[in-house]
Amino acid sequence: MPPSTTIVLASRNAKKLGELRDLLAPSGLNVVSVGDFPDVPEVVEDGTTFAENAAKKATQTARHLQQWALGEDSGLMVDALDGAPGIYSARYSGPDATDERNNQKLMEALSNVPTEKRGACYVCSIAVADPNGDVQLTVEQRCRGRVTEAPRGTNGFGYDPYFLIPEYHRTFGELSPVVKRQLSHRGRALRQLAPALSTLFS
């Protein structure tokens, strides 16, 4: 893949951008944020699945900029909450949602749920669209874990301090970025995507 190949991440989330850049670095891709292009309108995430939202982000961003674009939608699905917050993970606590408010709402929703019933999974869907806005690649991966009763660790973002990987006895908030990249839903999705990207751009 030529080192100059640029793909626009259809997200203004700086932490997500950093994580995606690190994960795609071996592919030789130059990943830039849609935030670098102030005239690109916000994508209305009204899909019913992570995959629909990822495709919508990729398609609309690619068409507007006439560049390759990567749309990513991810979130937390909690068993005891019938899959909530799900696709609403980023805005779980309302239009002015923050990580702190979202986590507070999650803790309130799980306040009477015992440890053994706090199973959950992180989901990550990715779509890559060409400059015409046609989706060329899609992947989806998951990571199983459990929601803790209290936050642990300061790494990551979103629900990471509450998402425990039982085999490691650590939350994503406690794991180093290197270890999290190996285990996370986003890391798994991008490792699956990387060979296809290399083929696509070769």
Annotated binding site for substrate: 11-16, 74, 157-160, 180, 185-186
* Strands, sheet with 170-171, edge to edge from the N-terminal-most edge strand: 30-33, 6-9, 69-78, 119-129, 135-147, 163-165, 170-171
Instruction: List the binding residues.
Output: 11-16, 73-74, 157-160, 180, 185-186
- Check if 73 is active-site: yes
- Quick one: which H or E segment has residue 60? helix 50-65
Q: Which residues contact 171 (CB under 8 A, 6 or more apart)?
A: 148, 151, 152, 153, 160, 161, 162, 163, 164, 165
Amino acid in position 193: L
CB 59 within 8 A of CB 133: yes
Annotated binding site for Mg(2+): 73
Selecting among 73, 79, 130, 134, the annotated active-site residue is 73
**Any idea which residues carry the catalytic annotation?**
73
